[in-house]
């Protein structure tokens, strides 16, 4: 054992001067003959101009750039020398130098640092402690990175849902403006009808004015808005007045704009909820109309009359749930919001199949295709293999509605018929849930509002041909609202 230790110690010494290698003055330099010497010997003893000669084999080695420092360093010999060499003592008191992990300095028991309350440890013990703390930090950093990735995925899902909702609102036609009452003076024209129509138009005008003022606020604001700032800003503007524009709008922070836009949506939702309450429990702060249009004394319009994307109640669209199981074990619930306003036929077909009104539907269907990070397909209640599945209408397959909605992450679209004789692009009962943007797909009619992370996990169960390795079943489904 002693001879083995001596051999190891011999490897950490320069074979010329018999001194221990170090990082500063005596790093081990490797020659072309694979022998290595310290930098001091290479520079002073072995140097012969632009080359050095090995004292063991007398083989010549040309110096790179004519400098001994440019020779390669023997990393293994240097690491061994670090491990075997004793720690240098304190240069002031010549006592064993210790390490303060709190301050990161070397000090002995007599140094001024010893008067602090920090613990002093031997160098090897401190090195082991630092290595253990480094491993713990790396493990914790990996855990935090996983959590941050999960938060980023949730933020991506929320941003995608907002993007699809805004695109759907932009695809809707503008509400036609009613014609003026030219026959108001006619004897056969009802004054009660004219007054009712005027009040309806006045309510729509108040909502449109409020929407424009909110748009001006979130576009021109240079600070994050909250409920109190929104209330004060709306109450500080006169009738028909908007906030002044701020120069340099094109260089504004998009994150600030989105944050203020979302805050304005939450504020509008809060005011709509307060509007639905009785008048005796509402104060002047909670009523949005009192802040935005104090001159309008007309009754508050109903939610159905709100035409703005920001003021529209998001719960007006039908919601359908699907409970899933994998290999007989419950897996979770997916909720889909159907746009029956832009896709009436596809929405009706999907609603009847989800509720099972006609005795057939999506209950008991399997997910027969799973493409990782792309889409999953189900809805074939006849064959469960993609070759069956008819609609609830008299014709087994029908032409889908032209919704002009883009297939993005979280969108749901009807799958085209896979019949060989059908080249018209008709749809039946099968539907596809998208996990990424696919511009080539049409017949989009719904969006996943809950459980999209479950669809992500389902997509990973498919092989290269899209066939899932597990049995994925829709155990129950129906309408929520």
CATH of the domain at 29: 3.30.40.10
Express the helix, strand and coil content of the chain in percent, nearest 5 each. Answer: 40, 15, 45
Per the CB < 8 A criterion, the answer to whether 196 and 252 are in contact is no
Choose the most confident range, by mean pLDDT, from 15-29, 143-157, 336-350, 396-410: 336-350
Per the CB < 8 A criterion, the answer to whether 378 and 370 are in contact is no
Q: Specify if 381 maps to a domain.
A: yes
Amino acid 243: pLDDT? 52
d(CA 408, CA 416): 18
Q: Does the predicted TM-score (pTM) go above 0.75?
A: no
Which of the pair, 463 or 127, is modelled with greater confidence? 463
Classify 8 as helix, strand or coil.
helix
Q: Specify if 181 maps to a domain.
A: no
Task: Give the H/E segment covering residue 479.
Answer: strand 472-479
Look at residue 22 and tell me whether its pLDDT is greater than 60: yes
Amino acid 374: pLDDT? 92
Residue 354 lies in domain = 319-480
Measured at the CA of 144, the angle between CA 143 and CA 148, to 5 degrees, comes to 125
Amino acid 290: pLDDT? 44
Amino acid 228: pLDDT? 82
State the pLDDT confidence band at 337, using cuts at 50, 70 and 90: very high
Amino acid 261: pLDDT? 84
Residue 436, domain CATH = 2.40.100.10
Domain boundary among 46, 62, 84: 84
Domain boundary among 53, 84, 115: 84
Of 86-90, 287-291, 297-301, which gets the smallest average pLDDT?
A: 297-301
Q: Specify if 76 maps to a domain.
A: yes
State the pLDDT confidence band at 349, using cuts at 50, 70 and 90: very high
Query: Could you report the per-residue pLDDT of 45-97, keeping only the tens digit for each?
Result: 777 678 888 888 888 888 888 888 889 999 888 888 877 766 666 667 666 77
Q: Specify if 158 maps to a domain.
A: no
Percent of the chain clearing pLDDT 90 (strictly above): 26
Domain boundary among 63, 84, 105: 84
Q: Specify if 454 maps to a domain.
A: yes
Look at residue 247 and tell me whether its pLDDT is greater than 60: no
Look at residue 370 and tell me whether its pLDDT is greater than 90: yes
Tokens found for residue 162: 């907002």
d(CA 359, CA 361): 7
- Rounded to an integer, the average pLDDT of 317-329 is 93
- Among 480, 467, 390, 392, smallest CA distance to 427 is for 390
Which of the pair, 187 or 474, is modelled with greater confidence? 474
Q: Specify if 264 maps to a domain.
A: no
Computed over every residue of the chain, the mean pLDDT equals 78
d(CA 218, CA 193): 38
Amino acid 403: pLDDT? 87
- Rounded to an integer, the average pLDDT of 374-395 is 91
Percent of the chain clearing pLDDT 70 (strictly above): 76
Q: Specify if 340 maps to a domain.
A: yes
How many domains in the chain? Answer: 2
State the pLDDT confidence band at 265, using cuts at 50, 70 and 90: confident
- The single-letter DSSP state of residue 377 is E
- Rounded to an integer, the average pLDDT of 270-289 is 52
Query: Could you report the per-residue pLDDT of 161-209, keeping only the tens digit for each?
Result: 888 778 777 776 665 444 455 555 555 556 777 777 778 888 878 777 8
Q: Specify if 327 maps to a domain.
A: yes
């Amino acid at each position: 054992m002693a001879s083995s230790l001596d051999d190891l110690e011999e490897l950490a010494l320069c074979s010329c001067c018999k001194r221990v290698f170090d990082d500063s003055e005596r790093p081990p330099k490797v020659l072309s003959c694979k022998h290595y010497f310290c930098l001091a010997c290479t520079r002073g003893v072995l140097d012969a101009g632009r080359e050095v000669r090995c004292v063991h084999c007398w083989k010549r080695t040309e110096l790179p750039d004519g400098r001994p420092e440019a020779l390669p360093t023997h990393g293994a010999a240097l690491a061994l020398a670090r491990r075997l060499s004793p720690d240098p003592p304190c240069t002031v008191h010549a006592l064993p130098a210790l390490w303060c992990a709190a301050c990161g300095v070397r000090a002995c028991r007599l140094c001024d640092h010893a008067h602090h309350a920090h613990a002093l440890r031997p160098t090897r013990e401190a090195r082991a402690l630092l290595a253990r703390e480094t491993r713990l930090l790396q493990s914790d950093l990996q855990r935090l990175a996983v959590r941050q990735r999960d938060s980023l995925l949730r933020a991506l899902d929320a941003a995608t849902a907002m993007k699809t909702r805004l695109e759907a609102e932009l695809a809707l036609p503008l509400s036609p403006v009613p014609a003026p009452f030219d026959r108001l003076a006619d004897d056969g024209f009802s004054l009660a009808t004219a007054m009712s129509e005027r009040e309806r138009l006045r309510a729509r005008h108040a909502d449109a004015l409020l929407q424009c003022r909110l748009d001006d606020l979130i576009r021109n604001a240079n600070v994050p808005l909250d409920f109190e700032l929104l209330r004060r800003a709306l109450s500080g503007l006169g009738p028909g007045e908007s906030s002044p524009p701020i120069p340099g709008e094109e260089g504004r922070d998009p994150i600030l704009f989105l944050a203020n836009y979302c805050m304005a949506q939450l504020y509008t939702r809060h005011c709509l909820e307060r509007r639905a309450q009785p008048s005796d429990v509402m104060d002047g702060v909670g009523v949005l109309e009192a802040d935005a249009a104090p001159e309008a004394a007309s009754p508050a319009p109903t939610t159905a009359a709100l035409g703005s994307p920001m003021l529209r109640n998001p719960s007006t669209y039908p919601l359908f749930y699907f409970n899933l199981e994998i290999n007989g074990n419950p897996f979770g619930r997916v909720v889909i919001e159907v746009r029956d306003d832009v896709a009436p036929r596809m929405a009706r077909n999907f609603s009847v199949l989800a509720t099972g009104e006609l005795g057939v539907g999506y209950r008991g269907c399997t997910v027969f295709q799973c493409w990782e990070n792309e889409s999953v397909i189900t809805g074939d209640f006849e064959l469960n293999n993609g070759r069956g599945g008819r609609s609830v209408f008299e014709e087994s397959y029908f032409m889908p509605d032209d919704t002009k909605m883009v297939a993005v992450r979280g969108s749901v679209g009807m799958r085209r018929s896979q019949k060989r004789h059908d080249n018209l692009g008709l749809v039946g009962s099968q539907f596809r849930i998208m996990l990424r943007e696919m511009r080539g797909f049409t017949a989009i009619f719904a969006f996943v509002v809950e459980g999209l992370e479950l669809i992500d996990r389902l997509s990973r169960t498919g092989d290269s041909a899209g066939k899932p390795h597990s049995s994925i079943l829709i155990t129950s489904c129906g309408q929520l609202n």
